[in-house]
Amino acid sequence: MQISQTEMEKRIVRYGELKPCRTAFIDAHTPGSNSKENFTIIGGGVSESPDQHVHIKDTPGFNIGAAGQPPKCRNSLHSHRTAEVFFVLKGRWRFFWGRYGTAGEVVLEEGDIFNIPTGIFRGFENIGTDYGMIMAILGGDDAGGGVIWAPQVIEDAKAHGLVLGENGKLYDSKKGQALPDGIKPMPLLTDEELKAFPETPVTDVVRDYVARYWDLMALAQKAPARVIGENALLRDKPGFDVELLTRGSIPEDAYTNERHEVLMVMRGHWKLGWEGGEAVLAPGDTCAVPPGLKHSLVPSMTGEASLYRVVSTGDKAGLTWRG
């Protein structure tokens, strides 16, 4: 397989060229959440807004996105039917979960990764001192069909002018918008339905679903660290595998992957080479390598170098699995 320099550049989304959406979700006007930015990098993601820009529309069996937030800004409690994996690119973040966000919490630093269990309400907040960014991997081509919001989030949003229709679309009364004829508001979860959302203990979550960057760097000294997968550190089958590569664990020779492969740079600059061209990837850049393309990876500068490699597995996206 061959691909031109021009075609490959279309498959690279540069961090500095990310286009944010500030009205992506129902809490866009809610105080405390109204300054967040959402980015859809690969696939349509779960945005509820027609204003969301999609950088690469074709999905490889999963979606890639990001959330950027200033200090003290939080993302409201919600749930997903498929995997939601975050790693911290910039800043310091608090993740919390449960019906009211009180079942547990964990603080993640740059490079840490969190495979959040499906079926629990979760939220996150930038507790650092500067603008922060977390990168996301969402299971499934349709990212699980959307977001399930805790009832109080929908009620708070309505008080600030945003209404979510049962069609999954947002309508902003501040812009004169209203629900179209025949479209009802998204119903609130009933008390009976809420019983299906567990209050997972923090001991279970931290043990089974969180991996720390410097532990992964140690594991990846001579071979890629298997982070998420059937036999990985965080055991799961979300439809994709995740590995961490460092300077010491890069493939010695060019290699070919018959499945979709996405490279997400954490630290340093990496030279991606293939027959027909080469490109340098910087921190925050995302590259979708097409199946069947023989390519090579090597750090292009001295110093710390790491990237997350996400590969589709063909497994059906669904609930968190631990074997």
Say which residues have a Cβ less than 8 Å from residue 199's Cβ, sequence separation at least 6: 98, 99, 103, 120
Tokens of 283: 């921190």
According to the model, what pLDDT value does residue 267 have? 98
Instruction: Return the CATH fold of 16-210.
Output: Jelly Rolls (2.60.120)
The separation between the first and the last C-alpha atoms of the chain, rounded to the nearest angstrom, is: 36
CB of 44 within 8 A of CB of 110?
no
Whether the predicted model's global pTM rises above the 0.75 cut: yes
Pairing state of beta strands 122-126 and 54-56? Answer: unpaired
The answer to whether the 16-210 and 214-312 domains have the same CATH topology is yes
**CATH architecture entry for 214-312:** Sandwich (2.60)
Say which residues have a Cβ less than 8 Å from residue 8's Cβ, sequence separation at least 6: 274, 276, 277, 279
Q: What residue type is assigned to position 35 of the chain?
A: S
According to the model, what pLDDT value does residue 144 have? 66
CB of 62 within 8 A of CB of 140?
yes
Q: Positive or negative CA dihedral for 121, 238, 147, 291?
A: positive
> Domain ranges in the chain?
16-210, 214-312
Provide the 10 A C-beta neighbour count for residue 195: 10
Q: What is the pLDDT of residues 134-160, one digit of tens each?
A: 999 999 998 767 899 999 999 999 999
Phi and psi at 297, nearest 5°, equal -130, 135
Task: Return the SS3 of 188.
Answer: coil
The string of DSSP codes covering 121-152 is: -EEEEE-SSS-EEEEEEEESTTGGGS-EE-HH
Q: What is the pLDDT of residues 220-230, one digit of tens each?
A: 999 999 999 99
Residues of the chain with pLDDT under 50: none
